[in-house]
Amino acid sequence: MAVIGGGTMGLGFAELLSGAGLTVRLCDASSELTRQSLERLGERVRGHVEARLLEPAAIERAASVEGADDVAAAVQGAELVIEAVPEQLELKLEILPAIEAAADPEAVITSNTSSFSIKELSGAIERRGRFLGMHWFNPPEWVPGVEIIPVEETEPEVVERTQELLRRLGKRPAVVGDEVGFVANRLQSALLREALACVREGLVEPADLDEVVRSCFGFRLPFFGPFRILDMAGLDVQLSVFETLEGGLGERFAATDAKDDLGSRVDAGRTGTKSGGGFFDYSDEERDRLLIERDRRYAALAELLERLPPL
Ligand SMILES: NC(=O)c1ccc[n+]([C@@H]2O[C@H](COP(=O)([O-])OP(=O)(O)OC[C@H]3O[C@@H](n4cnc5c(N)ncnc54)[C@H](O)[C@@H]3O)[C@@H](O)[C@H]2O)c1
């Protein structure tokens, strides 16, 4: 495995991959910066061991990460390359061909860009069948989700193999389309935009807004995404919420398409778990099981949060 860029994300990849017993080579912008990155990797892993998040053996594994003097040396023989240099288009367009030129023809090359079009980046690559976007979240050694962004030419087998590797590392990949912001950043930005508006309008102080997000609807998010939550709440209920928000808050809340998405289902009698189906289908048994499992998980999370010391 090769990690290009030993910053916030690159060190997380090196920690995760070496911790899983994989051979890892890392390179930064110069030999000196690579040496410093490896030093920081050691400190980071020792910190996790001291906090009892990792077994002491992780220190030795992290020490096995080899520094490479340049990109070519880093990628030689690697099955997977993760590009994690700063978010500068020119730099990425320069690094990707250098990676490809020295990598095995079979190597899978990925970019951890958080905003650039993967199609645009793929323009710098000749073997596009083996290229894809792999958008991780900070800190990548602990956050399980990874967005996988194939381009048109990416071979399905490469997408499959990358997902398998991620699952073996304990991650939870999701394949998403190559549109600006992919999916996660688009959703996060929608929330953030509205959070800033609520504070700007004097509706709430930042600390209370954080509490609302964490403890109200955010409390459910470790277990369910918006579609499952909608099914349990009722699509008809949300439809009416959309209408009320539009009436009270005006044009900015005109959710015409979203109301159509829900309205067509509601008209077809698909209001969610209470009617046997919404975005997903449920037999009576499946619905009962889901609801009791939901409550079991919420109770377990509430208890865990109660036990954790305040931040
Ligand atoms: N930080 C995050 O929360 C986050 C989350 C998701 C994705 N990303 C993406 O991951 C990528 C890396 O982000 P980061 O936060 O780790 O950045 P960073 O600035 O912390 O680290 C980038 C590293 O790349 C090195 N570098 C610069 N030029 C290089 C070169 N030519 N060859 C090798 N290394 C070089 C830098 O010296 C630095 O150590 C970016 O594309 C970013 O958008 C970041």
Tens-digit pLDDT profile for residues 157-174:
999 999 999 999 999 999
Chain segment 82-105, per-residue pLDDT in tens: 999 999 999 999 999 999 999 999
Average pLDDT for the chain? 97
Residue 208: pLDDT over 90: yes
Please list the residues that pair with 160 across neighbouring strands. none
**Dist. CA 190 → ligand 1 center (Å):** 24
| Residue found by looking up tokens 């920081």 in the block | 40
Domain ranges across the chain = 2-175, 222-307
Atom from ligand 1 closest to the CA of residue 136? 6
Rounded CA gap, 28 and 39, in Å? 12
Res 311 pLDDT > 90 = no
Running DSSP on this structure, what letter comes out for residue 273?
G
d(CA 2, CA 72): 10
d(CA 47, CA 27): 22
pLDDT over 90 (residue 231) = yes
CA 183 to chain centre: 9
C-alpha 152 to ligand 1 mean position (Å)? 26
Name the band, by pLDDT with cuts 50, 70 and 90, for residue 141: very high
Given the DSSP bridges, would you call strands 25-27 and 2-4 parallel, antiparallel or unpaired? parallel
Third-level CATH fold of 2-175 = Rossmann fold (3.40.50)
Where in the chain does DSSP place strands (E)? 2-4, 25-27, 66-67, 80-83, 108-111, 131-135, 145-150, 172-175
Taking only the tens place, the pLDDT of each residue in 256-280 is 999 999 999 999 999 999 999 999 9
Q: What b-and-e string marks burial along 59-84, b requiring 16 or more CB atoms within 10 Å of the CB? A: eebbeebbbbeebeebbeebebbbbb
Q: What mean pLDDT comes out for the span 114-137?
A: 97
Q: Is the peptide bond before 173 cis (omega within 30 degrees of 0)?
A: no
Asked whether 133 lines ligand 1 (CB < 6 A), one says no
Binding site membership of 83 for ligand 1 (Cβ less than 6 Å): no
How is 231-275 classified by DSSP, letter by letter?
Answer: HHH-HHHHHHHHHHHHHHH-GGG--HHHHHHHHHHHHTT--BGGG
pLDDT at 310 over 90: no
pLDDT for res 273:
97
- pLDDT at residue 190, as a whole number: 95
Note the CATH architecture for domain 222-307. Answer: Orthogonal Bundle (1.10)
β-pair type (131-135, 145-150): antiparallel
* Both tokens assigned to 22: 């994989």
The backbone torsions φ and ψ at residue 67, rounded to the nearest 5 degrees and listed phi first, read -85, 140
User: Ligand 1: distance of its center to the CA of 86 in Å?
Assistant: 4
Dist. CA 7 → ligand 1 center (Å) = 5
| Cβ(122)–Cβ(93) below 8 Å | no
Rounded to whole angstroms, the Cα distance separating 237 from 162 reads: 39
Judged by DSSP in three states, 277 sits in strand
Quote the percentage of the chain above a pLDDT of 90: 97
State if pTM tops 0.75: yes
Q: Is 193 exposed, middle or buried (0-12, 13-18, 19+ CB in 10 A)?
A: exposed
pLDDT per residue as tens digits for the range 30-82:
999 999 999 999 999 999 999 999 999 999 999 999 999 999 999 999 999 99
- Respond yes or no on whether the N-terminal peptide bond of residue 144 is cis (omega within 30° of 0): no
Atom of ligand 1 nearest to the CA of 115: 43
How many whole angstroms from 2 Cα to the centroid of ligand 1?
14
- Of 41, 49, 39, the residue nearest 14 (C-alpha): 41
**Whether residue 244 has its Cβ less than 6 Å from ligand 1:** no
Task: Please tell me the distance between residue 171's alpha carbon and the centre of ligand 1 in angstroms.
Answer: 21
pLDDT of the residue at 225: 97
Dihedral (CA of 35, 40, 43, 48) sign: negative
Atom of ligand 1 nearest to the CA of 37: 39
DSSP 127-184: -GGGEEEEE--SSTTT--EEEEEE-TTS-HHHHHHHHHHHHHTT-EEEE---STTTTH
Dump pLDDT digits (tens) for 174-207. Answer: 999 999 889 999 999 999 999 999 999 999 999 9
